[in-house]
């Protein structure tokens, strides 16, 4: 008899948990479409990328501060992924962070930049990656300027730059 009670109680508890989980508000963050993702082997990436791009995008390396090609770039345009050309950041959201890496307060589109928890080097950081090819871009920190208060700290080597109006010229 006692045993039956415990079983019933357990079932009630479990179904209670299930319905709680279902009632939780669904996070409204749409993710990058699976079918559009790019997956290449290590050797395919090696043949596509420069040595530095490979080291950073595919091996999660970091370029030295103030050495990249874009930390001080003030031109208008769009920063795309150096691995797959997906648009990632607009120059209008770039700001002077003083870190020596290109810094942005928001991605061009939330869906294009994926986030992952990174606990390497004894730190807890949020890694940011290209949502299409999985290339390592850099990290995002909660000490950026308004309106987002975020600082996307990105390696120049992970980016290409398409200057606004550059294509329109004859
Ligand atoms: Zn990419």
> pLDDT digits over 20-62, tens only?
545 555 555 678 999 999 999 999 999 999 999 999 999 999 9
Q: Which of 81, 84, 133, 153 is catalytic?
A: 153
Least confident of 7-21, 103-117, 139-153: 7-21
Task: Kindly give the distance from the C-alpha atom of residue 89 to the centroid of ligand 1, in angstroms, as a whole number.
Answer: 12
Task: Kindly give the distance from the C-alpha atom of residue 136 to the centroid of ligand 1, in angstroms, as a whole number.
Answer: 9
Does the global pTM surpass 0.85? no
- Domain boundaries, position 73: 41-163
CA distance 74 to 95: 9
CA distance 69 to 63: 10
Task: Kindly give the distance from the C-alpha atom of residue 86 to the centroid of ligand 1, in angstroms, as a whole number.
Answer: 6
Task: Answer yes or no: is 23 within a domain.
Answer: no
Task: Answer yes or no: is 26 within a domain.
Answer: no
Task: Kindly give the distance from the C-alpha atom of residue 36 to the centroid of ligand 1, in angstroms, as a whole number.
Answer: 11
The predicted-structure confidence for 112-142, as pLDDT tens digits, reads as follows 999 999 999 999 999 999 999 999 999 999 9
- Give me the number of domains the chain comprises: 1
pLDDT score for 103:
98
Q: Is 153 a catalytic residue?
A: yes
Task: Kindly give the distance from the C-alpha atom of residue 46 to the centroid of ligand 1, in angstroms, as a whole number.
Answer: 14
Task: Answer yes or no: is 18 within a domain.
Answer: no
Residue 81 has pLDDT above 90, yes or no: yes
Task: Answer yes or no: is 81 within a domain.
Answer: yes
Task: Answer yes or no: is 19 within a domain.
Answer: no
Task: Answer yes or no: is 16 within a domain.
Answer: no
Higher-scoring residue by pLDDT: 38, 166: 38
């Amino acid at each position: 008899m006692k045993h039956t009670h415990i079983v019933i109680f357990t079932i009630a508890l479990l179904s209670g948990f299930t319905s709680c989980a279902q009632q939780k508000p669904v996070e409204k963050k749409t993710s990058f479409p699976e079918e559009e993702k790019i997956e290449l082997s290590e050797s395919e990436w090696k043949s596509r990328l420069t040595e530095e791009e490979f080291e950073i995008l595919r091996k999660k390396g970091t370029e030295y501060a103030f050495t990249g090609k874009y930390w001080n770039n003030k031109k208008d345009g769009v920063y795309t992924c150096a691995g797959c050309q997906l648009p990632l950041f607009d120059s209008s959201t770039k700001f002077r962070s003083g870190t020596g890496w290109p810094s942005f307060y928001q991605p061009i589109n939330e869906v294009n930049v994926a986030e992952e928890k990174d606990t390497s080097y004894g730190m807890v950081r949020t890694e940011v990656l290209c949502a299409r090819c999985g290339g390592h871009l850099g990290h995002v920190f909660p000490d950026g300027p308004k309106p987002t208060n975020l600082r996307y700290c990105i390696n120049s080597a992970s980016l290409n730059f398409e200057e606004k109006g550059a294509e329109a010229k004859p």
